[in-house]
Chains A and B, each alone.
Chain A
């Protein structure tokens, strides 16, 4: 596709439910990032992949958060046993090899009730 695609756009989960958020990066982009954006704040880094390798997961807030990119393309961010504090917009971004700008998807707005 022409841009980074994320699905679903909106997700409402009951507290304790597991959720999976999908990201389709721009074709050929080696690097993929997940960010969490709380209401009224700037995005915060969660994790980074280069191809299928997860090189940095230092931003994942707890072991309930898990990300994968098994074939080096589509990525899934999974949150187990969701809590209210997980409510946020989850942004995915991709970039080509080298230090170039990242292109962001529209995000998934997760609301935990």
Chain B
């Protein structure tokens, strides 16, 4: 079985400050890890993925994530948050030989001006 945990329901940050959204996972074998963002009444938008290679992955809108195998974590980061980053963020995983994604429960990010 595979699972994802996002320990924070909500993260509040001031505009211009660094943003971190935490994610830990459990999967047999090598993981394929993803971050998606969801704006109100919209579908999920892909931000970035880790498949293999460099542990630091850069994605859309200035976001990046670091894969840490020993801690089974894949935290999402942005050096300087914008008010427009306020949204719901989902971490997801599937095993290397699989396809179906298992999502975390989501973390709501609120960036205040």
A-to-B contact residues, CB < 8 Å:
4, 31, 33, 35, 40-45, 48, 56, 59, 91, 93, 95, 99, 101-107
Contact = CB atoms under 8 A, between A and B. Distances in A.
Interface string B65-108: 00000000000000000000000001010101001111111100
B49 A101 contact: yes
A104 B43 contact: yes
Nearest to B98: A99
Given A41-B106, A43-B90, A104 B100 contact: no
A42 B99 contact: no
A107 B45 CA distance: 12
17 contacts: A33-B99, A35-B101, A42-B4, A42-B104, A42-B106, A44-B103, A45-B100, A45-B102, A48-B99, A91-B44, A99-B32, A99-B99, A101-B46, A101-B49, A104-B46, A106-B42, A106-B43
A101 B99 CA distance: 10
Contacts of B99: 31, 33, 48, 56, 95, 99
Interface residues of B, number: 24
Q: B-side binding surface: helix, strand, loop or mixed?
A: strand
A56 B43 contact: no
Contact of B90 (A42, A95, A99): A42
Contacts of B46: 101-104
B25 interface: no
Given A33-B99, A35-B101, A43-B90, 20 more contacts: A4-B43, A41-B105, A42-B92, A42-B104, A42-B105, A43-B44, A43-B103, A45-B101, A45-B102, A56-B100, A95-B99, A99-B51, A101-B34, A102-B46, A103-B46, A104-B44, A104-B45, A104-B46, A105-B43, A106-B43
